[in-house]
Amino acid sequence: EGTLSEVRRFWKMVDRPNLMIKIPGTPEGIPAVLQALTEGINVNITLIFSISTYRQVAEAFISALEARRTAGEDISHMASVASFFVSRVDTLVDKLLEDKVKATSNTSEQQHLKSLEGKAAIANARLVYQDFKKIFNTPRFAALKQAGAYVQRPLWASTSTKNPAYRDVLYAEELIGPDTVDTMPLETIENFRDHGRVRLSIEDNLEEAHQVFDALEKIGIHYDQVTKQLQDEGVQKFADSFHTLFEGIAEKRKAIETQQVKS
């Protein structure tokens, strides 16, 4: 309820039809996503790391559109994106792989572990894109589309390359496809403009994507544990940034008020 109160406050305060408010795709956040969308508020569902969470987010979006349509409300203006985080998956999985490499002296096992580095993030995003296609190409959504609804596009977040051993436009090049959004930091944008390769890549190597997670599971790196840890850490980082922002605003406001009193 606290999240919804803030969402409604910001929506009313800004009062712009193109405003999109972030709500985390956590177990606590998804009910707020459903309600906000049902009320006609555009939502960017953030901190999505797992395919199961993505499915819940897409379901919330479609259910909200159906509720609005049943109530006779307009759905043609509704906009939403599902922000699926990419490079952080590799950062964590690669660290777990490196720990396992250090823990064994078996050369062939080390080679196998190293062969999985830098694979999980792109595989994860490509598999979720397959879910996106299935969900938004059903008779259920077709009925909403006829009433003016737009798809909820996957948004690739955290797309800068963290590991200097990888291509600096890796996550931009490998996730290009229809109905997607890619948010890139300025450095990645400039790098892509300089030497990025444009091609339809989002559906490349889908069989390999499944194999990556099968292989990780076999060596004890569990998908659900990885994605939960990343989401928990992401929530904390967002909370810290939010508090830092408002502390900075408060300090600036105090400084301005003090200066006004002196003058």
Q: 38, 62 in Cβ contact below 8 A? A: no
pLDDT of residue 247: 86
Q: CA–CA separation, 86 vs 157, rounded Å?
A: 6
What whole-number distance in Å separates Cα of residue 63 and Cα of residue 46? 18
Residue 206 lies in a domain: yes
Range of the domain at 75: 2-245
C-alpha angle with apex 61: 15 to 153, nearest 5 degrees? 85
Instruction: Using the predicted structure, report yes or no on whether residue 261 has a pLDDT greater than 80.
Output: no
What's at 98, amino acid-wise? E
Q: Assess contact for 221 and 199: CB atoms under 8 A.
A: no
Contact criterion met (CB below 8 Å) for 28 and 56? no
Rounded CA gap, 63 and 258, in Å? 50
Cβ(126)–Cβ(197) below 8 Å:
no
- Residue 154 buriedness (CB in 10 A; 0-12 / 13-18 / 19+): buried
State the total domains in the chain. Answer: 1
Say if 253 falls within a structural domain. Answer: no
With b meaning 16 or more CB within 10 Å and e meaning fewer, what string describes 71-100? eeeebeebbbbbbbbbbbbbebbbebbeeb
CB distance 212 to 113 below 8 Å: no
- Residue 156 is predicted with a pLDDT of 98
Residue 140 domain-assigned? yes
| Residue 231 belongs to a domain | yes
Average pLDDT score over residue span 134-161: 97
Assign residue 154 the CATH number of its domain.
3.20.20.70
User: pLDDT grade, residue 37 (50/70/90)?
Assistant: very high
> What is the per-residue pLDDT for 260?
79
pLDDT at 242 over 90: no
**Residue 233: pLDDT above 90?**
yes
Task: Inform me whether the pLDDT recorded for 59 exceeds 90.
Answer: yes
| In-domain check, residue 134 | yes
Beta pairing, strands 181-182 & 80-85: unpaired
Positions marked active-site? 22
- Is residue 24 within 8 A of residue 46, CB to CB? The reply is yes
154 — phi, psi (to 5°)? -70, 135
pLDDT at residue 139, as a whole number: 98
**Residues 37 and 78: beta-carbon distance below 8 Å:** yes
Q: Is residue 240 part of a domain?
A: yes
Q: Which residues contact 262 (CB under 8 A, 6 or more apart)?
A: none
For the residues 187-204, what does the mean pLDDT come to?
97
Is 26 part of a structural domain of the chain? yes
Q: What is the mean pLDDT of residues 243-253?
A: 87
The pLDDT-based confidence of 55 (bands split at 50, 70, 90) is very high
Query: Given pLDDT bands bounded at 50, 70 and 90, which one contains residue 85?
Result: very high
pLDDT digits (tens, 9 = 90+) for 103-115: 999 999 999 999 9
Per-residue pLDDT, averaged over 150-171, amounts to: 96
Residue 120 has pLDDT above 80, yes or no: yes
- Closest C-alpha to 10, from 49, 48, 39, 46: 39
Distance CA 23, CA 214 (A): 31
Tell me what the pLDDT averaged over the chain comes to.
95
Residue 175 maps to a domain: yes
The pLDDT of residue 237 = 83
